[in-house]
Each structure stands twice: as structure tokens, then as C-alpha cells.
Structure 1
Amino acid sequence: MQKLFGVIGDPIGHSMSPAIHNDAFSHQNIQASYHAFHVKEQHLEDAVKGFKAIGISGFNVTVPHKTAIIPFLDEMDELAEAIGAVNTVKNENGKLIGYNTDGPGYVAALKEEMNSPLRDKKTLIIGAGGAARGIYYSLVYEGVSHIDICNRTIEKAEKLIHDCPYKATSAALSMHAAAEKLSQYDLIIQTTSIGMSPNTHASPLTLENVNQEAFVSDIIYNPLKTAFLQEAETRGTKIQNGIGMFVYQGALAFQIWTGVFPDTKRMKKIVLEKLGGTIC
């Protein structure tokens, strides 16, 4: 019998997850199909109960349900519980278990691009929202020991640092203070929505003081190269967009469901084709 997987969100019509997962199932000769389900916030509990009733094998969770779904799950893994958000659910004999592969997916994509150990990198995270939280927790969990966070509201950055159960040397900074001391960082990670289409000319801060040897990463992938990354590139740094994070969070979810790690190059090619680009 063919297994059923899916993704829930609101909106959901733009999701590229069905394309990458259905191709991976086919490529791995796994009898399964993956579908997008439009679930409004007020129908979330009913949707989860319905998935459980029909025996869905697993599903992804996207905006705005990553936190709201937690009360309707039976268990969560350690990292998802710490982050307080779930993007992947596995059905184990009728028990729904929540995971978060966003942060670990970002870290995996970062490791693929960088040729030196992450734990040695003095890191700056721009933003203190949900994406920043997942990435910060995952980097600290990975053993990165010095990570500062800058945000328009310093209190949000302070809270993010305080809430993390895994300890690192971290400071909360204003955007201005971070821009002033940018040369001190080996790794700069942009986690906000600033620069996302259609507001492609916006940038969270100037990279005037960036270290040319730094690695600059932006989790946005539409456009493929944000104004922030364009400036970083003109200043001579190595850059990375958000496609790697999207692909690896999906690959890790696929592995949780099936025990098989899929072909990420194949996944990346599909995403790039759908975005109409040729770079990553």
C-alpha cells in the first residue's frame, strides 16, 4: 500500500515540497506520495486528528502552524522541544512525534559550503525571530561557542539568548553596534525577511566593515541573491543563499520518515528550476 505524506500551511499553494519529495520517493523506489494541504489556523486540530485517523505516515508543517501544532502532538524530540517549533511530524504506530529540521538543515547546508570547522567561527546572527531561534539553537547544539545576535529590538535578542538551554558566549546587539564591529565576525547569518521579493532592494544593515575573509549567508532564496548578498559579494566575501537550508531541511525530514537520506543535488536542481535560476 502506498504511504501518504504531506505539508500543511496557510498559504500553501507556492510550496515546492511536493516536487522535491515526490521526485525523491520515485528516485529511491519508495511507494509513497506527498501532497500540499491548505489548513487554516482554526482547522488545525481537526486536520491533525484527520491525519491520525487516516494513518498518514508523516507531514511537514509550515507557516503559521509550527508552534500552534505542538499541543496536538504526542511527543517532540529534544531540539524541537527546546526551539519550541515543529516543522516535521512522523507517525510512529499511531503516535505523532514532532521534529525541527530547519536549524539542523541550515547547519548541514553551511557545513557543505564551508571548508573549516564551524565551532571555530565567531558568528553574528541578524534577527531574533523564529528562524534565528532555530539556527541559533542548532549552532550552539553543534558546538559553536561564540554567537552574537543583533536585532532592531535588543530585548528580543536578549530573550533568545536567555531561553536557549545550550550555552554559548553570546551578546545581544543593536543593528548599529553590529555594523560597527562587523570586521570581528567570521560568519554572518541574515535570518530576517528583509530583502525578500518583492522588496528586493532592502537590506538589514550595511556591510561596509565586513571582513573580506568572512562567510556571509542569507536564508532568503527568492531572490536567489538578495541586496545583502550582492553587497557582500562586491566586498569580496564568500556568500550563500537560502536554497541549501530549504533543501537540507527537506532531506532531513525525508530521512526521519524513511530512514533514507535523499540526493540533495537532485533536490537542489528541482528548486532552482522552479525558481528560474542557475546559481545557489
Structure 2
Amino acid sequence: MKEFGLIGRNISYSFSEKYFAEKFQKENISDSTYQIFDLDSIEEVEQLFRNPNLIGLNVTIPYKEAILPYLDELDHVAQEIGAVNCVKIINGRRIGFNTDAYGFEKSLEPLLEFCHQDALILGDGGAAKAVKFCLNKHLINFKTVTRQGDLKFSDLTDELISNHLLIINCTPIGTFPKVDAYPDIPYNSISSQHLLYDLIYNPDKTEFLKRGEKKGAKIKNGLEMLILQAEKSWEIWNSSL
């Protein structure tokens, strides 16, 4: 039996296990399983890697960067991004990939308009690194907003919001079960020209997206990105490399 799974912390909300179970059933894949591995610390991944049946892992919050020292090799995209959300194990070697970038780019592209030249990225974890990679690729200028970085949430003015028509939430703020939480930005300055993208997919419409929608903005959650990155991961796990 080929074994696959997702590692992260406090990830009982994840749709990945259900997604792959349904995929395996729909596509008559009977030799594979996918499960959640909720790890208190990244060191616990070493025990998982000792499993000879383990073929691949997805990686989520907060281990997309912490996983790097446990890998033997990175593909060129993961190396450039500096974060990994997909690991393939082949002949005992652990190879890191980033399929977040693929999923984000493919789900964002149809929504982009000429006015979306400047972006605000909320948060600066592993997922944000994939987002930056994609924005650079599309020549979209961006500023990163964090609690303690060069640009803090308290620095966000009406003018900054008005001048950055693409706002991407890469923080876990608003994830189930804390669905009433939202990033602290001046929502009154959101307009119908804005595009608000939230990497969160549970709930399907976060408070961040609801507040943007009320102001007429286009909104997008992270579900399509999740599906695209999952399918890309499956493709990598089953490729010969």
C-alpha cells in the first residue's frame, strides 16, 4: 500500500484527507491511502520518514519552511521560493517541491485586470513566499504586511489601501473555528476595483472576504488553489523524475 499524507499543526480542519479519499474512490485507486499527521513539532517528521511505504507528503502551517533541513534536495522552484508544501520520497531521498505557487497562480490569473498592478500581502510565512514568487513572475509590485515587519497592520492607511487594488491574505486569521476573526485593515477604503484573495478555504467565505464583498470588491477563497496544488502534488508523487 502506498501511503501519503499532510503534516502540519492543529490541522483537523483540513479538507485534504477527504479530498484524496474521494479522489481515490472516484478514480478506482485502491493501492493508496492519505491521512493527516498533526505534529506538535517538526522533529516528529523523522519518524514518518522511517515508514517504507510513505511516498509523499503535503506540508502546511507552520512547517513549510521548517521542513527544509529534513530534505535532501529541492526542485528549482522550491529553492527559489524558500518554502516547501510537497515532498516526494524516492529511493530514500526526500525531495521538496512547491505546488502552492502553481495553485495560486492558476487560480489568480483569470481574475487579474490591468488595474491590479500593486498588491498588499498580509502575512509572511511559507505560503506568502509562494505568493511573492507568482507576483514577481507577473510583474506585480507588492508590499508585505506583518505584525512586526517593515510595514505593520497599524501602518495601513486609507491611501495605501486605495493604491493597492490586490490584497492577499496569507495569515491564518479567520480560519475555522475562529471564523469571526479578520485581518485589521481599513476596509472602508475597499472599492469595486479591488480584488481580495484569501488563501483560507474553511470557511468558504471568511470575514475578510465578506467585508470586501460588502464594499463591492471581487473575492476569491483558497479552495481552487488547494485543489490545483493537490493535483500537482499527486502528479509529482506519481512521476518517475
**Shorter-chain TM-score range:** 0.7 to 0.9
Question: Secondary structure at 2:189's aligned position in 1?
Answer: coil
Higher strand proportion, which one? 2
5+ residue gaps in structure 2?
Answer: none
TM-score normalized by the length of structure 2: 0.83
How far apart are the structure 2 equivalents of 1:149 and 1:34? 34
Q: Secondary structure at the match of 2:127?
A: helix
Matched residue SS, 1:57: strand
- Residue of structure 1 equivalent to 2:74: 76
Counterpart of 1:97?
95
Instruction: Quote the residue 1:56 is aligned against.
Output: 54
Distance 1:64 1:230, change over 3 A: closer
Q: Is contact 1:39-1:47 (8 Å) kept?
A: no
What CA distance in whole angstroms lies between the structure 1 residues aligned with 2:182 and 2:7?
A: 30
| 1:151–1:175 Cα contact (<8 Å) kept | no
Instruction: Report how many residues are paired.
Output: 236
Question: Residues of 1 paired with 2:153 and 2:86: CA distance?
Answer: 33
Cα distance in structure 1, aligned partners of 2:206 and 2:165: 20
Amino acid corresponding to residue 36 of structure 1 in structure 2: I
- State yes or no: 1:37 paired with 2:37: yes
Q: Which has the higher helix share?
A: 1
Equivalent in the alignment of 1:46: 47
Which residue matches 2:196? 216
Report the CA distance between 1:66 and its aligned residue.
2.6
Deviation per CA, 1:235-278: give whole Å up to 9, x if none.
1111112222222221221221235xxxxxxxxxxxxxxxxxxx
Cα distance in structure 2, aligned partners of 1:61 and 1:249: 11
**Identical aligned pairs, as a percentage?**
34
Deviation at 1:98, TM superposition (A): 0.6
Counterpart of 1:206 in structure 2 is: 186
Cα distance in 1, alignment partners of residues 6 and 153 from structure 2:
36
Contact 2:13 2:202 in 1 (8 A): no
Extract unaligned runs of 5+ from structure 1. Answer: 156-171, 260-280
What is the rounded CA distance, in whole Å, between the counterparts of 2:109 and 2:16 in structure 1?
22
> Structure 1: which amino acid aligns with 2:23?
A
Q: Is the 8 A contact 2:153 2:184 kept in 1?
A: no
Shift of 1:117: 7.2
Say if 2:188 is the partner of 1:193: no
Q: Tell me if structure 1 keeps the 8 A contact 2:78–2:97.
A: yes
**1:190 Cα deviation from its structure 2 partner:** 1.7
The one of 138, 149, 166 equivalent to 1:154 is 149
